[in-house]
Amino acid sequence: MISPIFLSFFVACAPKVEVVVAPPPPVAKVEQVQAAISPSSYHNGQQAGPALRRSPVEAWSIQLDGPITVPIFSDGKRFFAVGGGSVYAIQDGKLLWKQKNGARAAVLVEEGLAVTVPDRVLILDPETGEQKQEQSTPGIVGAVEQLGPHLIWVSEQGAVHTGKETVELGQTPAGHIAAEGSIAYLATVQGELFAISGGAIAWNALLPGAACGGPTIGPEAIYVPLASSATGGGGVVAFGKDGTELWRFKTDYQPGGSLSVGELLWIPDRDGVLYALQPRTGKKEWTSEGFGEYRTQGMWVDRSLYAGNADGRLYRVDLDDGGTAWSVNLGSAVTGDPTLSGGLLVVGTAAGRLVGLAEGY
């Protein structure tokens, strides 16, 4: 049954799907196993294992049309990526299908593959890429989210669309919207955090400053990155899920890539410094310097943290002290948030290269 948000959908003249026959994947043999849908949003960066403990080897790579700057995700069989205005499906190291439609972001939802284009959300069949439905979404920011039986998104003007209702915030979103259960969270450049549920504002809280990105949801708290100001650096503020401020932490500059939370809260500052905090208290466990700017959300898997850097490397960070367990050079800045499924770690670069990495020997 189609959810209420799609009752007004109509099937339009869908763009032609380009089916591409790619050469067979090279080298490494990877056992593909069924896995749960991997996160394609910014909830916390955690994924199911097993982790890649040893320095990885390249199983396959595919050249896409443009930079990969949004999260990569998987349904357990296929990997999906967005680059150069197209959305791609890759299976067994081969390009299964491609649709050029001006795509900005994509996410798996109950109805299929929800693709954000400049003024619409398209619902595609994940197996074929054929368009099933569409809806007008003027000025959409980031990807849509699943919120209960509905899809939810936010416009550039700060209008949050939740099923049949629209909540006008009157503020500018600082980044993506994040959802958990029946509640969605949004931070603004005017310095507020909103919790939205049932088509209304459940609560809102003032931030210590302007947000510089969307919120990250942890098991017990919501974390918001803060922009630097004329008086100093930015940082992070944590709120309980009732809107109570829990703690604040100040960084020298301001967070770059999205925050991620697992055993520790990981903050990549734009000056190349990494901070690791206790998620409950904000207590600093360690800092690590000397890296380039991290461009992706860190991915937590089985006590391992993986993150892509502007220096062209994907790093596995040691949680004990922030050192490098291993790194692999991918040739250009790593900009597409990684995902792990079926024993493969898949990551994208600013040069449009999508790479599948397998456990090394």
Contact indicator for 154, 141 with CB cutoff of 8 Å: yes
Least confident of 83-87, 144-148, 242-246, 344-348: 144-148
pTM: 0.83
Contact 84, 64 (CB under 8 A): yes
* Inside any domain, residue 263: yes
Mean pLDDT, the chain, integer: 82
Residue 184 falls inside a structural domain: yes
Asked if residue 6 belongs to a domain, the reply is: no
> Among 115-129, 136-150, 197-211, where is mean pLDDT lowest?
136-150
Query: Quick one: pLDDT at residue 3?
Result: 44
Dihedral of the alpha carbons of 128, 130, 133, 134, in degrees to the nearest 10:
120
- The 3-state DSSP class for residue 177 equals coil
Instruction: Determine the structural domain holding residue 354 and report its residue range.
Output: 17-39+46-358
Q: Does the structure show a pLDDT above 70 at 317?
A: yes
**pLDDT tens readout for residues 321-343:** 888 889 999 999 998 888 888 88
Work out the average pLDDT over 205-225: 94
Percent of the chain with pLDDT over 90: 45
Size of the chain in residues:
361
Q: Given its phi and psi angles, is residue 337 left (phi above 0), alpha (psi -120 to 50 degrees) or beta?
A: beta
According to DSSP, the residues that pair with 81 across neighbouring strands are 88
Q: What is the DSSP string of 343-354?
A: TEEEEEETTSEE
pLDDT bucket at 270, cuts 50 / 70 / 90: confident
Is the residue at 10 inside a domain?
Answer: no
Q: Confidence class of residue 290 from pLDDT cuts 50, 70 and 90?
A: low
- Please check whether residue 11 lies inside any domain of the structure: no
Residue 68's CATH number: 2.130.10.10
Pick the closest to residue 129 from 119, 115, 109, 144 (CA basis): 115
In a domain, 321, yes or no: yes
Out of 70-74, 120-124, 210-214, 293-297, which region has the weakest mean confidence (pLDDT)? 293-297
Residue 341 in any domain: the answer is: yes
The span from the CA of 139 to the CA of 188, in Å, is 16
Residues 249/282, Cβ–Cβ less than 8 Å: yes
Residue 338 has a pLDDT of 87
Report yes or no: 336 and 69 within 8 Å, Cβ to Cβ: yes
Give the total number of structural domains in the chain.
1
